[in-house]
Chain A
Amino acid sequence: MSTSMEQLYQQVILDHAKFPHGRGLGAAADAARTGESHQVNPTCGDEVTLQVDVDASGVVRDVRWEGQGCSISQASVSVLHDLVVDHDLASVDDVAETFRALMQSKGAGLGEEAEDKLGDAAAFTGVGRYSARVKCALLGWVALNDALIKAGAARTKEDA
């Protein structure tokens, strides 16, 4: 197997795909604002349903999700869960933007500072080299953005 395969399928990605975090839908954690989004990648049929709870102080209290798809798409939602739960909306927005930028870096990466911020998500650097797979990695993030809008906790693109 080539090094590019090993860079694409880093062990941390395979581990998240095998033992995903935050999987399983359910009731909202408290009386917080809650939003849900269902996203499908129509080219391959991968899908994810994601629920997000945001408390009154603007902190993401929980992310729950269910989905089916390739290891990249499933691992990405698992990593997303770890990156956003217990973080305020401003830092969630920041990490989401950084991850999008990583996917657009065509495998070059974003440097140490940005990758520190991304934690396990930095392992997705190699995905950017395969344009067909970027959509897989972004599926959960698209769902998160939509769920936050539905929760009234994020501005839409038009508002921005």
Chain B
Amino acid sequence: MTSTLDATAQPHGGTPRTLEAAELAAVRADFPLLARTLRGGRPLVYLDSGATSQKPDVVLDAEQDFYVQRNAAVHRGAHQLAEEATEAFEDARSRVASFVGVSPGELVWTSNATAAINLVAYAMSNATLGRGGADARRFALAPGDEIVVTEAEHHANLVPWQELAARTGATLRWVGVDDDGRLRADELDTVVTSRTRVVAVTHASNVTGAITPVARFVARAREVGALTVLDACQSVPHLPVDLPALGVDFAAFSGHKMLGPTGVGALYGRRELLEAMPPVTTGGSMVEVVTMDRTTYAPPPQRFEAGTQMVSQAVGMGAAASYLAELGMDAVAAHEAHLTRLLLDAVASVPGVRVIGPTDAHDRLATVSFVVDGVHAHDVGQVLDDAGVAVRVGHHCAQPLHRRFGVAATARASAAVYTTDEEVAVFREALAGVRTFFGLEDGRSA
């Protein structure tokens, strides 16, 4: 489950085990929502897992079970319930940590991935103000320092760095995207310089589906002594991810995209970095000794978990990690690689439809964004919805990437472990009807 993934490894190559038909049917039976119907009794074809995934019974049950059997305040109280609640909470941390190859002490619960990235950015801000003392000086920024992001980032891995630059006087720079939707890793040598302090990059684009050659980003960042922050939201649910093998310093991912609940996400940080980092949100549960004029802080991860935590959601996220681990992420990735090819073929088979992102299935997720010539993405989504097909439309929280391709909005079909060949076929047929519905003949625009 913890094979390395980077540009040189081939997660979709070789002949990994995939999900057999019976296994896939069993997986689908685990997701009660997938069985519901929509307006007019149409079956649901859920191709919006890139936005949020559906949840299996084991996740729903884990949350329910926590409240029914174990609910109590964690990390305090000497009673049995408090002990059991704490065990459930920390067991979930262990499950999620081991799912991405890290130790529990390196995994901080956050409310979502956005909060995880902001945590790093605000800790650096606080270090810049002198908080955290000498140990935290490595996180301090000054005018002239540079923060590097990419043009493919979700706003969650762009705006916090814009804000950090504005607060500290550092300069924001970015790596571009090529016409195929791949990151211009060839620009790393010029964009990342001796002044670069942070390199923040997505593991896989939520729009183009392109998988980042993380090893090249990490290698370049290390050459100049910059910290690396990986947005792993789109990779962790779909690929085997071993964060230490990738060599990143920090990584963020969310529960709800990996079959878990909303309201919970995780920040991974290398232990020595978390230990040196000043806190961000302060208050209860994250302290050692508090007097009226000063406070000493708990070691990580508790130092970054102020206030009552989202315990039941964390337990649900732990259950989701175990569910995926049990299926085997190699098998999940192999199944989704197959879906990637089907989705790309489906889109390519319909005249007047153009993919925004790589059209070859290599190093790519089953997340396919496209524009339909002469039809706005909203209208595309509406016609697909009429066939029961749920896709995302809009800019997918990545306006600069859309601007890069000269489009305001795209429609995006994104698969997950429970997606079937038949669903892609329904999507294809509905997509084929879009231009006809709007009175456009094949090959001509409005």
Give me the interface of A with B, judged by CB distance under 8 Å: 1-2, 4-5, 8-9, 14, 18, 43-47, 68-74, 130, 133, 136
CB distance from A76 to the nearest CB of B (A): 12
Give the residue of A5, A45, A130 whose beta carbon is less than 8 angstroms from that of B409: A45
Are the C-beta atoms of B378 and A69 separated by less than 8 Å? yes
Contact A133–B40 (Cβ < 8 Å): no
Question: Quick one: which of A14, A43, A44, A130 has the most chain B CB within 10 A?
Answer: A44
Q: Kindly provide the distance from the CB of A112 to the nearest chain B CB, expressed in whole angstroms.
A: 27
B393 at the interface (CB under 8 A from A): yes
Residues of B within 8 A of A130 (CB): 382
**Would you call A1 and B376 a contact (CB within 8 A)?**
no
- The answer to whether A44 and B386 have CB atoms under 8 Å apart is no
Q: Are A44 and B409 also in contact (CB < 8 A) when A2-B40, A5-B383, A70-B378 are?
A: yes
Would you give the shortest CB distance from B382 to chain A, in whole angstroms?
7
Interface centre among A5, A45, A73 (most CB of B within 10 A): A45
Besides A44-B377, A70-B376, 10 more A-B contacts (Cβ < 8 Å) are A2-B39, A4-B386, A5-B382, A9-B382, A18-B446, A44-B393, A44-B409, A45-B409, A70-B378, A133-B378
B403-445 CB mask vs A (1 if < 8 Å, else 0) is 0000011000000000000000000000001000111000000
A49-B393 Cα distance, complex, nearest whole Å: 22
User: B382 contacts A1, CB within 8 Å?
Assistant: no
- A71 adjacent to B376 (CB under 8 Å): yes
B377 touches A70 (CB 8 A): yes
Asked if B399 is an interface residue, CB under 8 A from chain A, the answer is: yes
Query: Which residues of A sit under 8 angstroms from B433, Cβ to Cβ?
Result: 1
Could you list some 28 contacts between A and B, CB below 8 A?
A: A1-B383, A1-B433, A2-B39, A2-B40, A2-B386, A5-B382, A5-B383, A8-B382, A14-B439, A44-B377, A44-B378, A44-B394, A44-B395, A44-B409, A45-B394, A45-B399, A45-B402, A46-B378, A69-B376, A69-B378, A70-B377, A70-B379, A71-B378, A71-B379, A72-B378, A74-B376, A133-B378, A133-B382
Question: Which interface class (under 10, 10 to 19, 20 to 34, 35 or more) fits B?
Answer: 20 to 34
Q: Which residue of B lies closest to A18 (CB)?
A: B446
Q: Which of A68, A71, A72 is in CB contact (< 8 Å) with B438?
A: A71
Residues of B within 8 A of A45 (CB): 394-395, 399, 402, 408-409
Task: Determine the chain A residues whose CB is within 8 A of the CB of B39 once the complex forms.
Answer: 2, 4
A1 to B437, CA, bound (A): 8
| Interface pairs A-B: 3 shortest CB-CB | A70-B378, A70-B376, A44-B394
Contacting residues, chain B, for A68 (C-beta < 8 A): 408
Q: State the CA gap A81–B125 with chains docked (Å).
A: 50
B393 partner residues in chain A, CB cutoff 8 A:
44
Residues of B within 8 A of A136 (CB): 378
CB distance from B89 to the nearest CB of A (A): 35
**Residues of the B chain whose Cβ atoms lie less than 8 Å from the Cβ of A71:** 375-376, 378-379, 438
A155 to chain B, nearest CB (A): 32
CB contacts under 8 Å to A, within B333-382, are 375-379, 382
Which residue of A has the minimal Cβ distance to B394?
A44
Q: Could you say which residues of chain B place their CB within 8 Å of the CB of A47?
A: 408
B residues within 8 A CB of A74?
Answer: 376
- In contact, A14 and B382 (Cβ under 8 angstroms): no
B50 to A: closest C-beta gap in Å? 16
How many angstroms from the CA of A74 to the CA of B446 in the assembled complex?
A: 14
Residues of B within 8 A of A46 (CB): 378, 408-409
Q: How far is the CA of A43 from the CA of B185 in the complex (A)?
A: 30
Q: How far is the CA of A69 from the CA of B40 in the complex (A)?
A: 28
Most buried by A among B382, B399, B408, B438: B382
User: What's the Cα separation between A68 and B371 when bound, in Å?
Assistant: 14
Question: Counting chain B CB atoms within 10 Å of each CB, which of A46, A68, A70 scores highest?
Answer: A70
Known: A68-B408, A130-B382. A5 touches B377 (CB 8 A): no
Complex alpha-carbon distance, A44 and B375, angstroms:
14
Instruction: Give chain A nearest CB distance to B385 CB in angstroms.
Output: 9
The B156-209 residues at the A interface (CB cut-off 8 A) are none
How far apart sit A44 and B39, CA to CA, in the bound complex (Å)?
23
A residues near B399, Cβ cutoff 8 Å = 45
A14 contacts which chain B residues (CB < 8 A)?
Answer: 438-439
- Shortest CB–CB separation between residue A139 and chain B, in angstroms? 11
Q: List the B side residues contacting A4 at CB < 8 Å.
A: 39-40, 386
Cα distance, A9 to B437, chains bound together (Å): 9
Cα A43 to Cα B381 with chains together (Å): 14
- A44 and B380 CA atoms in complex are apart in Å by 13
- Chain A nearest CB from B396 CB (Å) reads 10
Cα–Cα, bound, A47→B395 (Å) = 13
Shortest Cβ gap from A16 to chain B (Å): 13
Closest residue of chain B to A2, judged by CB? B386
Q: Which chain A residue shows the least CB distance to B383?
A: A5
Q: How far is the CA of A4 from the CA of B439 in the complex (A)?
A: 17
Contacts of B395 in A (CB 8 A): 44-45
How far, in whole Å, are A2 and B433 apart by their CA atoms in the complex? 12
